[in-house]
Structure 1
Amino acid sequence: MKTDVEELTPTRVKLTVEVPFDELKPNLDKAYKEISQQVRIKGFRPGKVPAPLIDKYVGRGAVLQEAVNDALPELYGRAVEESEIFVLGQPEVEVTELDDGNQFAFTAEVDIRPKFEVPEYDGLEVTVEDAVVDDEQVEETIGNLRERFASLTAADRPIQEGDFATIDLVAKIDGEDVEDASTSGYSYEVGSKSAIEGLDEALVGLSAEESATFTSTLVGGERAGEEAEITVTAQSVKVKNLPEMDDDFAQMASEFDTIEELREDVRTRLGRQVRLQQLSDARDKALEALLEKVDIPLPDKVVDEEIQRRNQQLEQQLQMAGMTKADYLKDEEKTEEEFDTEVADAARQAVKGGFVLDQLAVQEELGVENEELSEYVVTQAMQMGVQPQQLAEYLTENNQLPAIVSEVLRSKALNLLVEHVTVKDESGNEIDVEAVRRELSGETVQAETETEDEAETAETAETEAPASEASEEAAAPEEAEAAKGKSEENTSKDA
């Protein structure tokens, strides 16, 4: 097999592949066998039809086409391997010659990762925010915890902001009811601004069994974006009562006996969060600093695919939140053009980051061990709430393992980069990233062990002692993942 490589652009090549016809023999034999199973010719059982009869009744051309389709993936793969190029996405293949018995040739145009060397990165310096937890943050966290233990009591007075009202909503457009925009028995916190515009203002001052009508734009359902006349009726009014911030509250909301012990635990956990955030910021900024030293062309198609992926992801998130893109842009105070520009810039940065980390892994001869893949699968399975074996089988069946290997390899390359970068906080203190990572990892293991022990004790005693609500409040899942968060978003899985 002979392969020529023509560089169309720095990020796209055209492979011209010539194959001696003899190399197609296994594929031709397979094609005859499969067609023989399908055709029905009098006097021959399925699978026993001779090749000459297949040529006569089905046609040699059909056999050649079947053989070529079967051979192309392997031949293309060999051509890529021999050319030592890093291809991106699917190729555009064209058969240019099919001389029966003599030669077969085809071309394949495909995007490639540009060829470049990662520059020296020792000596790069990045700055992250100080890992500070102030009293206001502690009190805010405990205040959020108090909200979770608040109780509601009926109030015999008009609705005020901050009350919880049980309401009925009826929406009409041109006098006709809009069913999917109407509801009854809905509990709503007045003043939260979490429903349709104008609802909070309409509710304030109403007493139970009273109604008010206002005009607003529907935000969901089939008539989203249209103006409707909305009537709200208050069924009941309830006042939120917060527990006192004392030792009794600490005992009710956590495993601690005193409010001071609870405060100290919250402070410790918030401290862990900000240090995790420091690690995440260090990874982000280290990669950003390296990318500033690299100037490479990017394949338009790969960037466009990353833009499309990001837009689809946002669309799904907005749909789940019951919002439209117009609502989102209004909240973010951005125009459509500004949003598109930001997405395009982020996509290019993500694709570029992926290329640089891939090349860094090659230069540093990094590899992925089976244990590292297993650890990744277990971690992902825990986050998704599925069994690791189930996830592993899904990844294998859907040919996702190469993508997982690439993701793990990029993470290792990024970790290596951070180890060679000087990280300081805004106060000028140098941060030993690896030491902080080991320390926080040890805290995680210890905390998990203590949780398991407490759960076992509680089950044995058959008690209903409350879990530490403060722990949940102070260590929200999305923040606990900060150590690997933003930087992984900056590297495109599709790159």
Structure 2
Amino acid sequence: MKTDVEELTPTRVKLTVEVPFDELKPNLDKAYKEISQQVRIKGFRPGKVPAPLIDKYVGRGAVLQEAVNDALPELYGRAVEESEIFVLGQPDVEVTELDDGNQFAFTAEVDIRPKFEVPGYDGLEVTVDDAEVGDEQVEETIGNLRERFASLTAASRPIEEGDFATIDLVARIGGEEIEDASTSGYSYEVGSKSAIEGLDDALTGLSAEEDATFTSTLVGGEHAGEEAEITVTVQSVKVKNLPELDDDFAQMASEFDTIDELREDVRTRLGRQVKLQQISDARDKALEALLEKIDIPLPDTVVEEEVKRREQQLEQQLQMAGLSKADYLKEEEKSEEDFDTEVAVAARQAVKGGFVLDQLAVQEELGVENEELSEYVVTQAMQMGVQPQQLAEYLTENNQLPAIVSEVLRNKALNLLVEHVTVKDESGNAIDVEAVRRELNGETGETVEAVEDDAEAETAESTETAETSETPETSETAETAETAETETEAAEVDKPAEATAEAAEETPKKDA
């Protein structure tokens, strides 16, 4: 087999492959055998039809096509291996010659990872935030926990901001009620601005059994974006009462006996979070600093795929949140053009980061051990809430192991990079990232990687207040939590560069 490589661009090549016809013999034999099982010719059992009869009744062309389709994946793979190129995605294959009995030839155009060397990275310096936990952060976290244990008491006065009202909403357009924009028995915190625009103003000053009508734009359903006349009727008004910050609260909200012990635990948890954030920021900024030193071309198709992936991911997240893209852009105060530009820039940076980490792994001769793959699968399974064996089987059956190996390898390359970068906090103190990792691992016996998603689960929790019963004199308590949970922003640790380019080698299949 002879293979020539033509560089079309720095990120795309054309392979021209010539194959002696004799090399197709195993594939031809296989094709005759399979076709023999399918055809029905009088006097011959399935699988026993001679080749000449298949040529006569089915056609030699059909046999050749079957043989070529069977041979192409292996021949393409051999050509790629011999050419020592790193292909990206599926190739465009064209059979250029099929001389029966003499020669077979084809071409394959495919994107490749650009060839480059990662420059020296010793001496790079990055700055991260100080790992400080102030009293204000502690009290804010305690306050959020306190909100979760608030009680609601029925009130006979008009509604004020911060009250909870049980309301009925009826939306009408042209006098006709819009069912998917109407509801009853809805518990709403007045002043939260979390529902229809204008609802807070309409409710303020109303008492139980009173109503008000206002005009607003619907944000969801079939009539999203249309203006509707909305009538809100108040069923009841409830006042939120916060528990005292004392030892009784600590015992109710956590496993601690005193409020001082609870505060100290919150401070410890917050301290762990800011250190996790430091490590995450160090990794991100170390890669950013290295990328600034490297200028490489990027395959347009790979970048476009990354842009699509990000857009699909956002769409899924918005669907889960019950928001439209227009709502999201309005909240973020971004235009469609600005959003598209940001996504495109982030996609290019992510693809570039993946290429650089891949090349760094090659230059440093990094590898992936079976134990590292097993650890990765176990960690992912824990985060997904499935059995490790179940996840391993899924990854194997769906040919996802090459992508997992790539992800683990990039992680190792990024860790190596951080080890050679000088990391300082804003106060000028040097940070030994590896020492911080060991410290965090030693605190609980867990690895930083495993703790990462547990930390995320504890963050950004909205304050939850239980709905009260309809008895106006009673006081209800919000849902209890077994332990105090911190509400800080979690760090993302040991994640490879976000949305890096996937370079799985796809085998082609092309009709002759």
Once the two structures are overlaid, the 10-residue window that deviates more, 45-54 or 271-280, is 45-54
Q: Does 1:473 align with 2:483?
A: no
Quote the residue 1:460 is aligned against.
Answer: none
SS in 2 for 1:395: helix
Return the structure number with greater relative CO, CA threshold 8 A, min gap 6: 2
Check conservation: 2:306, 2:499, Cα contact below 8 A. no
- The code of the aligned residue for 1:488 comes to A
Q: CA deviation at 1:176?
A: 2.1
Q: How does 1:396-407 map to 2 (within 5 A)?
A: 396-407=396-407
Q: Secondary structure at the match of 1:423?
A: strand
1:141 pairs with 2:141: yes
Distance 1:266 1:494, change over 3 A: farther
Post-superposition offset of 1:469: 2.7
Report the CA distance shift for 1:200/1:209 in structure 2 as closer, same or farther (over 3 A).
same
- Structure 1 residue aligned with 2:463: none
Paired AA for residue 49 in structure 2:
V
Superposition map of 1:89-488 within 5 A: 89-445=89-445, 468-470=482-484, 472-474=485-487, 479=490, 481-484=491-494, 488=497
**TM superposition shift of 1:250:** 0.5
The alpha-carbon deviation at position 488 of structure 1 amounts to 3.4
| Distance in structure 2 (CA, Å) of the matches to 1:179 and 1:107 | 60
- Provide the rounded CA distance (Å) in 1 between the counterparts of 2:368 and 2:236: 61
Q: Could you tell me which residue of structure 2 aligns to residue 455 of structure 1? A: none
Give distance in 1, aligned partners of 2:214 and 2:308.
Answer: 39
Q: CA deviation at 1:43?
A: 1.6
Q: Which residue does the alignment assign to 2:470?
A: none
Question: C-alpha deviations, 1:60-98, integer Å up to 9, x for none?
Answer: 111111111111111111100000000001000000011
**Closer, same or farther: CA 446–419 of 1 in aligned 2, 3 Å:** closer
Distance 2:192 2:159 in 1: 14
Question: How big is the shift at 1:177?
Answer: 2.1
1:199 partner letter:
L
SS in 2 for 1:484: coil
Opposite residue 167 of structure 1, the aligned amino acid is I
Q: Secondary structure, in 3 states, of the residue corresponding to 2:104?
A: strand
Question: How many angstroms does 1:493 deviate by?
Answer: 4.7
Q: Which residue of 2 aligns with 1:453?
A: none
CA distance in 2, matches of 1:159, 1:41: 88
The alignment status of 1:491 with 2:504, answered yes or no, reads no
Give a deviation string over 1:99-135, Cα, whole Å, max 9, x none.
Answer: 1111110000000000000000011111111001111
> Percent of aligned pairs with the same residue?
88
Q: How many residues align?
A: 474
SS in 1 for 2:96: strand
Q: Distance in 2 between matches of 1:234 and 1:46?
A: 79
Aligned amino acid, residue 350 of structure 1: A
Unaligned runs of 5+ in 1: 450-465
- In the other structure, the counterpart of 2:7 is 7
- CA deviations 1:168-211 (Å, max 9, x no partner) are 12222222222222211111111111112111111112212222
Contact 2:353-2:497 at 8 Å conserved across structures: no
Contact 2:169 2:231 in 1 (8 A): yes
TM-score between both structures, scaled by the size of structure 2: 0.90
Please state whether the residue corresponding to 2:191 is helix, strand or coil.
coil
Aligned residue for 2:214, secondary structure, equals strand
Shift of 1:338: 1.2
Task: Map Cα deviations across residues 342-393 of structure 1 (whole Å, 9 max, x no partner).
Answer: 1111111000000000000000000001111111111111111111111111
- Using the TM superposition, name which of 48-57 and 170-179 deviates more: 170-179
Contact 1:11 1:112 in 2 (8 A): yes
Contact 1:5 1:16 in 2 (8 A): yes
CA distance in 1, matches of 2:69, 2:218: 53
Residues 260, 411 of structure 1: alpha-carbon distance in 2 compared, 3 angstrom cutoff: same
Indicate if the aligned counterparts of 1:130 and 1:425 stay in contact, CA closer than 8 A.
yes
How far does residue 313 in structure 1 lie from its aligned partner after superposition? Answer: 0.8
* Structure-1 separation of matches of 2:231 and 2:445: 54
Q: Counterpart of 2:64? A: 64
SS of corresponding position for 1:473: coil
Structure 2 distance, partners of 1:444, 1:88, is: 41
